[in-house]
Structures are given as structure tokens and as C-alpha cells.
Amino acid sequence: MTVRLNSIRLNLAIALGLALLAIPLAFGPPPLVVLPLVLLVVALIRALVMHTSRRTRLINLLGPVSRAAAGETHVHLPAGADDEAGHVAAAVNALLDKVRQQALAAHAERDLDLALVRETPNGLLVTDAQGLVRRANPALARLLPVRGDPVGRRPIDSIPVADFQEVIDEARETRGVCERTLTQGRFDLLIRAMPTADGAGCLGVVLDITSIRAAERARRDFVANVSHEIRTPITAIVGYVEALEADRERIPEDLQFMLDVVRRNADRLRLLIDDVLHLSTLESRQTDLELRRESVGPVVQAVIERFEGVARQKGLQLIGPAVAPEAMINADGLEHALSNLVDNAVKYTQAGSVRVEVAEQPGGVTIAVVDTGVGIDATHHGRIFERFYRLDSGRARSAGGTGLGLALVKHLCSAMHAQVHLESEPGVGSRFTLSLPA
Ligand code: ADP
């Protein structure tokens, strides 16, 4: 339409120019007057023609640009001319090339993401804000029984595994990461659910931990078997050492110290084997320790009596609690954990006291073992409950420790739904607190 208007205007301009030229010709003026007039009209017409053709070329670009805007991908504007239209076309072509490259890169990224989701051995599932499945990957159906297409349904409607639905629901409600392990057919699985990045839905991840579990079992069995095998000769050694000790006066004095060394080391080895066996038994338990609601008094008292002698020998005060409330405990488990804590407190305290404090809290009962010993620097607090983690292995060994005491305490606590917490300052002392359910 605009192009036609332009050509009409051009024709009018030419007609006007010719009319101007015709007037002097018709009335016959001298030729000298006609020539500049003709030149002026010609220049005018030329300028008009050029202007109109530039506009036309610019207007002609509109078509391809509109097609590109509508989503056509292979649009290319004619950009040969060295004028406004040519420059605009070149700039638009460069822009379109850039957009095309970015779109290709985005496509490649998305293809990569899709390939990862498709090929990963971990099951993946995403739910929307209503808790309905938006997408699930193929691995999910390999690890869990998936009946039909889960998309658009609640997970439980196509995956009849109650634990899976529960973990997803829990993550939705708590807006946090929730985990659960379960055995499904021949697989040991770890299910982890968390809110999606936009916060509306939920992402469920199913990890196959069968081989990890098998390796853990093999390691535990190996440790337990080796420990059992070592225990028998140790028992024999200790037995003979005890027999020799009973006949000590028949042993030459310069050899008696050797007997003491053998005895000390055999005892240490026996303690270590016992701790290793205990730890591996605790680790291999599928169920928690059986809890009963009873007073913590007798357990605390038994532990205090056991360490009174050693504490006295070191000149330490061993102080018991004033109260004995009831809590959900496994008496053997609690006694073992508390013994390790009091044993450590006595071992790592040179002067002052070791105090066992019991207190009733709103959610349960706490038992704290407080000492005035060497203390533990804050840098070690995060790792102190790991197996064989020691601050000063020389001192710990000479104190007779196995390096497994606190690891055992931690395991015993988790088997009793209890928690252990450490506060300590070097040179001041330590406080290990057990928090027991009421
Ligand atoms: P160990 O048998 O060596 O005592 P534990 O696991 O019981 O092993 O303790 C680990 C380390 O923690 C110890 O070697 C010791 O360095 C430190 N520790 C434990 N309890 C105390 C305490 N009450 N005071 C100071 N250090 C402690």
C-alpha cells in the first residue's frame, strides 16, 4: 500500500516537472531561459526518484523481519547496498545470526540435560504444587514398580510403595530434604525427596545402594570374623600371663617388667577387640535397641561405683547426681555409653573433679559428664565421634584408650533415639551431654 502511494507521488512529481517545462515551450521563451529550468526539473525528479527508491527498499525489509519475529528460523535480509536499507539489513542479519546461535546452544544444553535425566541410573520424579507427577525418568521404573504412565497422577497411584509417597509428602510439608532407606525386591534403595528450585513442587530421587550395602556388610563380616579369630589367642595369652603373675616370685626380677608389658598390651588388645566387635554388632543391627521407661538412677550409680576406685587413685572427686528421673532407655546401652564417657573424663583429667549431672528437660532427660580435664579444642568437635579419631594419639594410647569409645557412644545413642553433644574448652574441661527421650 505504502509502496503504491510512493509510486503515485513519483508520477505526480514527474508530471508536474513536465508541465513546468511545457509552459515556457508553449509560450516560446528564449532557449537560454529554458535550459536551467529543464536542468532544475531533471534534478528535482532525480532526487525524488532516489528518495522514493530508498524508502521502498527499507519498506521491503519489513516483510522478512516480520517473518523472523513470527518464528521463521532461516530468514536472511538482502544486505548488498551501501545505503540505509543495506546497513539496516546487515545489522538485522547479524542479530538474527546471534539469536540463532543462542537458540542452538540452548537446545544443545537442554538435550544434554534430557540425556542426563534419561540415562542416569538414579530414579527421578518431579511433582507439581498439587502433588501430581509432572515427569519421571526411565530408571524410576527399573528401581520401583511403576504401573502405567505416572504423569498427572499422585505417585502412590502408579507406584504402590508407601514409603516413596510418604517421603515426598514429608518433603512437601517440611519444605526440607527427607530421606528413607528401604529394600525393594533385589534392590536396597535410598529415597531422597526435596522441594524443587521454584519451591512449588517436589523432586524425588531414588538411589540404588545395593552394592554399597553389600560392601558394608562384607566389611562388617570381615571385621567381626577377624576380631573373633584374634580374641581366642588373646584369651590364651591373658590366661598364661595371669598364671605367670600368680607365680610372680619365681620369675627373675629383671624379667618381671616384661611380664607387665605383655599383660598391659594383651589387655589393650582385648579391649580393642571388644570395642570393635561391639561397634560392628551395633552397626549390623537392623533395629534399634529396645527402650523401656525407667529411672536412670541405677545405671548412673553402677557407672559411678565402677570408676570410683580409679578416680580416687588419681586424686579426683567423682560426684554423682542428686536426682534420678525416668526416661526411655535401654539400661545396658546407656550403661555402656555412660561408662565410656566417665572413663574418658577420668582418663583425661589430671586434677579436680568428674561430675555426672542429671536433669529433667521438657522433651526428656539429660545426663552430662562434666570434667575439669585437658579439654578439647573446638576444631576437633566435628570429628571427635569418628572411629580412631584422637587429638593426641600418644597421650590417648598411654591413657589406655582404643580410639573407639566415642564412636560407640554415638552409635549407642542413635540406637536409643538419643543424642550426644559436646562442649569443651582446652585447659578448662569438657561436658558431654546425652539427651534421652522422656
Ligand atoms: P580413646 O579410647 O582414645 O579415649 P575415644 O573415642 O573415647 O577414644 O576418644 C577420642 C579422643 O577424644 C581421645 O583420644 C581424646 O583425645 C579425646 N577425648 C575424649 N574424651 C575426652 C575428655 N573428656 N577430655 C579430653 N579429651 C577427650
pLDDT at 3: 45
pLDDT band at 1 (very low <50, low <70, confident <90, very high): very low
pLDDT per position as a tens digit, 313-345: 999 999 999 999 999 999 999 999 999 999 999
- C-alpha–C-alpha distance, residues 367 and 436, integer Å: 8
pLDDT at 170: 94
CA of 392 from ligand 1 middle (Å) equals 9
Pocket test for ligand 1, best of 270, 275, 279, 348 (most atoms within 8 A of CB): 348
Q: Residue 283 burial (CB < 10 Å; 0-12/13-18/19+)?
A: middle
Q: What does residue 306 show for φ and ψ, rounded to 5 degrees?
A: -65, -35
Identify the residue whose C-alpha is closest to ligand 1 atom 8.
Answer: 403
Which atom of ligand 1 lies nearest, measured to the CA of 345? Answer: 23
How many other C-beta atoms can be found within 10 angstroms of the C-beta atom of residue 180?
14
Nearest to 9 by CA among 52, 67, 38, 61: 52
Using CB distances shorter than 6 Å, the residues near ligand 1 are 340, 344-345, 348, 371, 373-374, 376, 384, 389-392, 396, 401-407, 430
User: Which three-class secondary structure state does DSSP give residue 226?
Assistant: helix
pLDDT per position as a tens digit, 15-69: 666 666 666 666 665 566 667 777 887 788 877 877 777 788 778 788 888 888 8
Q: Which residue pairs from 157-166 have beta carbons closer than 8 angstroms and sit at least 24 positions apart in sequence?
A: 158/133, 163/191, 164/191, 164/204, 164/206
Q: What percent of the chain has a predicted confidence (pLDDT) above 70?
A: 90
CA of 347 from ligand 1 middle (Å) equals 8
Identify the residue whose C-alpha is closest to ligand 1 atom 21.
Answer: 344
Q: Which residue pairs from 309-318 have beta carbons closer than 8 angstroms and sit at least 24 positions apart in sequence?
A: 310/346, 311/346, 311/354, 314/346, 314/349, 314/350, 315/351, 316/346, 316/349, 316/351, 316/352, 316/353, 316/354, 317/352, 317/353, 317/354, 317/355, 318/342, 318/346, 318/353, 318/354, 318/355
pLDDT band at 134 (very low <50, low <70, confident <90, very high): very high
Identify the residue whose C-alpha is closest to ligand 1 atom 12.
Answer: 390
pLDDT at 374: 95
* Beta strands 187-195; 178-184: pairing state: antiparallel
Identify the residue whose C-alpha is closest to ligand 1 atom 14.
Answer: 390
Give mean pLDDT, residues 282-301.
88
pLDDT per position as a tens digit, 205-252: 999 999 999 998 898 889 888 888 998 999 999 999 999 999 999 999
CA of 357 from ligand 1 middle (Å) equals 19
